Structure 1
Amino acid sequence: MPRTSRAEKSLKSCNEDRISALPDDVLRHVLGFLPADEAVHTCLLARRWRYLWKSMRRLRINKIGRWGSSSGVFLTKFVSCMLLLRDPGSTLDEVEIEYERHFDDDHTWTSTWIHHALSCQAQVLTVKFPLHQFLVCYLDGPPLVSRYLRRLQVSDVTLKSNFLKFSSCSALEYLKIKDSNLETVSSVLSQSLKHLSIEDCYLKNDGRIRISVPNLVSLQLISCGGRVPLLEGMLSLETAVVRPQVCWKDCCLEGVAEGCCGTCANCCGNDDHNGGCILFGGLSRAKNLELTADPEMFIFRRDLRWCPTFSRLKTLLLSEWCVQPDLHALVCMLEHSPVLENLTLQLCEQEKTIYGMEVEENPGLMEKPAAISGYLKTIEVKCEEVDNRVCKVLKFLSTFGIAITIQRTNR
């Protein structure tokens, strides 16, 4: 029997097409890591590859592929044809539409692609377009409908009308909206949502946007402009971070020294929900809560007029707003947190005066609150400078009889 040398075996092995020998499901999985146009182009490799792209389970529609420099009209037609030519019975696990330029001026295509992806049972959907001064991608049309969508991320778009009503997305648990405009949106509705993040967005609605997500576990509402949204009850809430921007639509124009006058329409809650808490009502079941804002943003102090009891709150982080112009807000939050264990105050450097006025000291606010939590174990104060205002806060906190940790922070 003739013997084959190692060199001959190695040469024969190099000539074998081992990738094509893999099962179809594995090849479709590999294609899912390529940009969509690159994946389609593999149909030229061999007869075995001709139709594999039609049933791959992950689509990446972005600029990285072969035709990244092509015209917007061409790319729009390509993506539309690619979706229409998929195998009718094939399903999708994940769809990513991310492009750093606009396909064309007709933004209705984007919504059409999204609805088509959901009809293919997509479980994860990411949509990202650039916000441009003159060209903006609008996502409009009827509410999304899917029994399979679990995760949705939307960035750099303008959301309109019913796009954020997810009553027909029974499996949706994670929603992230970033760097977008919420225009003429009246509400965000979902019974299944567990995690919600709205970051660096602008809420361009005449009234307050209503967020109704009763089964939410975690909430991030960070650096959003416009009118602060109205939060409805969230009985399962564990962690919430609320950090609104300063916005003229949510400020008191009559108050003195950054305070709430208590008589103007904004302070009295004379808006579309007829008074009451804007944020605290929905946050009252949280276990871990971060409320940070500049002193000019008075929405937290306004909510203190109807302050609920934070019956499960264990960890609380507050910023500048709770100690300016006096300690009333801090005292109120502590009195309404009966099981609080950990308190952190994050304070900036004090200005010489507030709007050029000196605020009178209220001696009664320097005494230990009668209803202070008996569970309070740790107090931490983070500050840039230990100035007079920080000393006043430390003097108040020292009445609790609990060791206080002071941490210097950079500007």
Structure 2
Amino acid sequence: MPHTSRAEKSSKSCNEDRISALPDDVLHHVLGFLRADEAVHTSLLAKRWRYLWKSMRRLRINEMGRWGTSTGGVFLTKFVSCLLLLRDPGSTLDEVEIKYDYQVEGDLTWISTWIHHALSCQTQVLTVKFPLPVYGPGYLDGPPLVSQYLRRLEISEARLKSNFLNLSSCSTLEDLKIKECDFDASSILSQSVKHLSIKDCYFKGDVRISISVPNLVSLELKSYGGRTPFLESMLSLETAVVSVEVWSVDYCRKGFSAGECCGTCLDCCGNDGLKGGCVLLGGLSRAKNLELIAHPGMFIFRRDLRWCPTFSKLKTLLLNEWSVEPDFRALVCMLEHSPVLENLTLQFSKQEEPTCSVEVEENPGLMEKPAAISGHLKIIKVKCEEVDGRVCKVLNFLSTFGIEITIQRTKG
């Protein structure tokens, strides 16, 4: 029997390529953690690796490495086009990430082409971040997206046209996140989306964009600019957070200089082309948990209260200053239309300057307990940085409910 020394065994062990001996599925998983250019470079490691990148299941295309140079945009276009075209026919993609931190100029049709090609490879998760030119052409548009496999779509720092937001042909899409985008569209359409998040976006145009996602379960609409979108009916909605910031055009021009909503001018009363009816509250009326936050001067919630729906399932409600300034009518209206409400939270930021005298001092009737308040209401919380005169008036009003009130001090 031939004798093998310990040194020879050690040498043989060091020269053995154990990674290359792993199954293809494992190697494809490893390649998915690399940038696309790094994954292609692995073809130089050994014969075993030469064509693995052609069938890897996760693509990460971003600006790192050579994409960060002055000619990175041109190189990126050619590289990604070849990368997609040279993939093994029939190989599927689980996830595609296309991220670029620099504004892209020139012909942008190839971005849409990449996206449609990725979807044709049965991509389940698609992330797109492509800062497009601030001025001139440069929208994500083209034919509507079509996929029977896409489950999650995330878009940021892009400019979006109507066709790109028509997702009715993505039958399995459930999670949609849009951040820091400009909308130049009339509608967002999807029958399948269940979780929608729109943050730090701008809605262009004089006509409100319509959001039609009837099977939505959770909604985040926060810190948007432009004209507030119109929410269509969402019968399955459970949780919604809507925050209307100061850069929305839906502010009261009459009371804006005082940081208030007057509630009586044409803007506040619904002179916005809808010919009456709710913009937000109608679509939110089936929610179980609801947060409605508005910067002082924003009238959109008060405007909707003229046609306030019944929140028949609402159990938890959080409101901020808009509901109690300049009087308590908005708060009373919300309480009277929430018959099963159990938990109420009022949140106050620090009052920088004294406000004008409030109407509740001239109308003692508004300090009485609402007749139709929910008998299920057991918890009332007041969150504030300091207990100033404004908070004291609210506490006096809430004390008429005969329910214990918890005061929580917050940091600015």
Q: TM-score, normalised by structure 2?
A: 0.94
Structure 1 position 106, deviation (Å):
1.7
345-354 or 222-231, which moves further after superposition? 345-354
Amino acid at match of 1:28: H
Structure 1 position 290, deviation (Å):
0.5
CA 1:101–1:136 in structure 2 vs 1: closer, same or farther (change >3 Å)?
farther
Give the aligned partner of residue 373 of structure 1: 374
Deviations 1:96-141 (A, max 9, x none): 0011224552211111100110111111000012366568852111
Deviations 1:378-405 (A, max 9, x none): 1110111111111111111111111111
Determine helix, strand or coil for the equivalent of 1:139: coil
Structure 1 position 365, deviation (Å):
1.1
Gaps of 5+ in 2: none
| Cα distance in structure 2, aligned partners of 1:58 and 1:103 | 24
Give the aligned partner of residue 17 of structure 1: 17
Contact 1:130 1:136 in 2 (8 A): no
| Cα distance in structure 2, aligned partners of 1:260 and 1:133 | 35
Deviations 1:200-250 (A, max 9, x none): 001112200100101000000000010010001111001000001124621
Give the aligned partner of residue 53 of structure 2: 53
Structure 1 position 6, deviation (Å):
4.1
Give the aligned partner of residue 42 of structure 2: 42
Amino acid at match of 2:215: N
Structure 1 position 252, deviation (Å):
2.6
Deviations 1:143-189 (A, max 9, x none): 11111111000001111131111111111100000011112x10011
Give the aligned partner of residue 142 of structure 1: 143
| Cα distance in structure 1, aligned partners of 2:261 and 2:101 | 43
Contact 1:71 1:103 in 2 (8 A): no
| Cα distance in structure 1, aligned partners of 2:174 and 2:326 | 40
Deviant stretches of 4+, over 4 Å: 65-68, 131-137, 356-360
Give the aligned partner of residue 179 of structure 1: 180
Amino acid at match of 1:117: A
Structure 1 position 298, deviation (Å):
1.1
Q: Equivalent residues in 2 for 1:115-154 (5 A)?
A: 115-130=116-131, 133=134, 138-154=139-155
| Cα distance in structure 1, aligned partners of 2:137 and 2:5 | 65
Give the aligned partner of residue 274 of structure 1: 275
Q: Equivalent residues in 2 for 1:205-220 (5 A)?
A: 205-220=205-220
Give the root-mean-square deviation of aligned CA atoms: 2.0
| Cα distance in structure 1, aligned partners of 2:135 and 2:187 | 26
Give the aligned partner of residue 388 of structure 2: 387
Determine helix, strand or coil for the equivalent of 2:294: coil
Amino acid at match of 2:43: C
CA 1:30–1:194 in structure 2 vs 1: closer, same or farther (change >3 Å)?
same
Amino acid at match of 2:202: Y
Q: Equivalent residues in 2 for 1:290-369 (5 A)?
A: 290-354=291-355, 359=359, 361=361, 362-369=363-370
Determine helix, strand or coil for the equivalent of 2:411: coil
Aligned residues: 408
CA 1:360–1:285 in structure 2 vs 1: closer, same or farther (change >3 Å)?
closer
Determine helix, strand or coil for the equivalent of 1:250: coil
| Cα distance in structure 2, aligned partners of 1:127 and 1:107 | 14
Give the aligned partner of residue 252 of structure 1: 252
| Cα distance in structure 1, aligned partners of 2:375 and 2:272 | 38
| Cα distance in structure 2, aligned partners of 1:249 and 1:102 | 27
Deviations 1:261-288 (A, max 9, x none): 4451x33333343221000000000000
Contact 2:324 2:330 in 1 (8 A): yes
Q: Equivalent residues in 2 for 1:72-87 (5 A)?
A: 72-87=73-88
Structure 1 position 406, deviation (Å):
0.5
Contact 1:224 1:244 in 2 (8 A): yes
Gaps of 5+ in 1: none
| Cα distance in structure 1, aligned partners of 2:137 and 2:35 | 23
